[in-house]
Amino acid sequence: MKTKQHGAVVGLIAAGALLLTACGSDNNTGPGGSTSGATASGVAVECGGKTKLNAEGSSAQKNAIDTFIQAYKAKCSGADLAYNPSGSGAGVKNFNAGQVDFGGSDSALSKDKGEVEAAAKRCATNPAWHLPLVFGPVAIGYKLDGVKDLVLDGDVTAKIFNGTVKKWNDPAIKALNSGATLPDKDIKVVYRSDESGTTDNFQKYLKIASKGSWTQGDGKQFKGGVGEGKEKSAGVAQATGSVDGAITYVELSFAQDNQLSLAKIDAGQGPVELTNETVGKAIDGAKIKGEGNDLVLDLDSIYGTTAAGSYPLLLATYEIVCSKGYDADTAKAVKAFLTVAATDGQAGLADAGYAPLPKAFQDKLLTAIKAIA
């Protein structure tokens, strides 16, 4: 995800503005106080408690957290949060060690690694909950002269990124793009050379959506065995934008910054363009495999969706919090921050390249946040 705001996502901005509108600081109180004020969407926020929260973790959500912080400070006078984008591993480690009030992670706590048990110990023998608060669409960005309207599916995308499909006029691509003039040109794959949550999610998508064509596995290192590696999202987007015939996977705002064309994805119900609405449909259709208010996502339900109008290629990040076990001041502030983040804070997300939460999913999060004790 990007660490600076991007203003060109006009369609997403409009959709985000329709979903939620930022509000001012009505009914605010000072540190330690409380309020019966509400967010722009009418959700009650009780400010107060700990005046400065600390959180750490996923760099993918850094720009979203910055947006949330501004909304939190506007709603709760004197309140603040410091976020260190040190990476998911450090976020989990330091949350479990009690050094931060909540952690940000691209993936759920691992029982096999002892993270679930360590989190429960940190939370005074209470389970930690996963709150998927930030979703970012991942684009399949490409540069191909004369081709601005390209359709791909999971199978063909997997074959491109593992080197099975090598030419832009391959019959497999032609079959998805009837009537298009595709050049007899080599496909030049560009991938992340550094460890990346985006790579991990992209490969998980390929594993599910390709229905057997992607056998290389997942993980934060690209395993396709083909193409040219570049560091960071900016690196892959710039490299793709500079070479005709290139293709990559990258967060939306970077693709737009480099004027990449964006492939539509056909999951069996026709081509789907990447928009706020189509991403929202995918989020709405996501299944929860966690219990109760522990909202661990079943990523297969997103990546493998065949629902009409759903764009399935997303990156989700969690806020990992104690269900119980905070002191009273910390619990109050954590709940206030998360409530504002899930409501007023959503208004600025589209401008930063993220997807605002659809209403039904927002309601699930608010129910969980309210239950934190």
Domain residue ranges in the chain: 10-136+315-371, 139-277
**How far is it, in rounded angstroms, from Cα 319 to Cα 365?**
11
One pLDDT digit (tens) per residue for the chain, 373 residues: 544 444 433 343 333 333 333 333 344 444 444 454 678 778 999 999 999 999 999 988 999 999 999 999 999 999 999 999 988 999 999 999 999 999 999 889 999 999 999 999 999 999 999 999 999 999 999 999 999 999 999 999 999 999 999 999 999 999 999 999 999 999 999 999 998 888 999 999 999 999 999 999 998 899 999 999 999 899 999 999 999 999 999 989 889 889 999 999 999 999 999 998 999 999 989 999 999 999 999 999 999 998 999 999 999 999 999 999 999 999 999 999 999 999 999 998 988 889 999 999 999 999 999 999 9
**How far is it, in rounded angstroms, from Cα 37 to Cα 118?**
36
210 in a labelled binding site: no
**Partner residues linked to 38 by β-bridges:** 44
Take residue 58 and report the two structure tokens written for it: 């996923």
196 in a labelled binding site: yes
261 in a labelled binding site: no
Span 129-185, pLDDT tens digits: 999 999 999 999 999 999 999 999 999 999 999 999 999 999 999 999 999 999 999
In sequence order, which residues have a C-beta less than 8 Å from that of residue 134 and are 6 or more positions away?
A: 60, 61, 64, 65, 316, 317, 349, 354
199 in a labelled binding site: no
- Superfamily of domain covering 10-136+315-371: Periplasmic binding protein-like II (3.40.190.10)
325 in a labelled binding site: no
* Burial of residue 124 (number of CB atoms within 10 Å: 0-12, 13-18, 19+): exposed
Per DSSP, 357 falls in state P
The DSSP-derived string for 141-203 is: EEE-TT----EE-HHHHHHHHTTS--BTT-HHHHHHSTT----S-B-EEEEE-S--HHHHHHH
88 in a labelled binding site: yes
Domain 139-277 has CATH 3.40.190.10: yes
107 in a labelled binding site: no
Span 222-265, pLDDT tens digits: 999 999 999 989 999 999 999 999 999 998 988 988 999 999 99
60 in a labelled binding site: yes
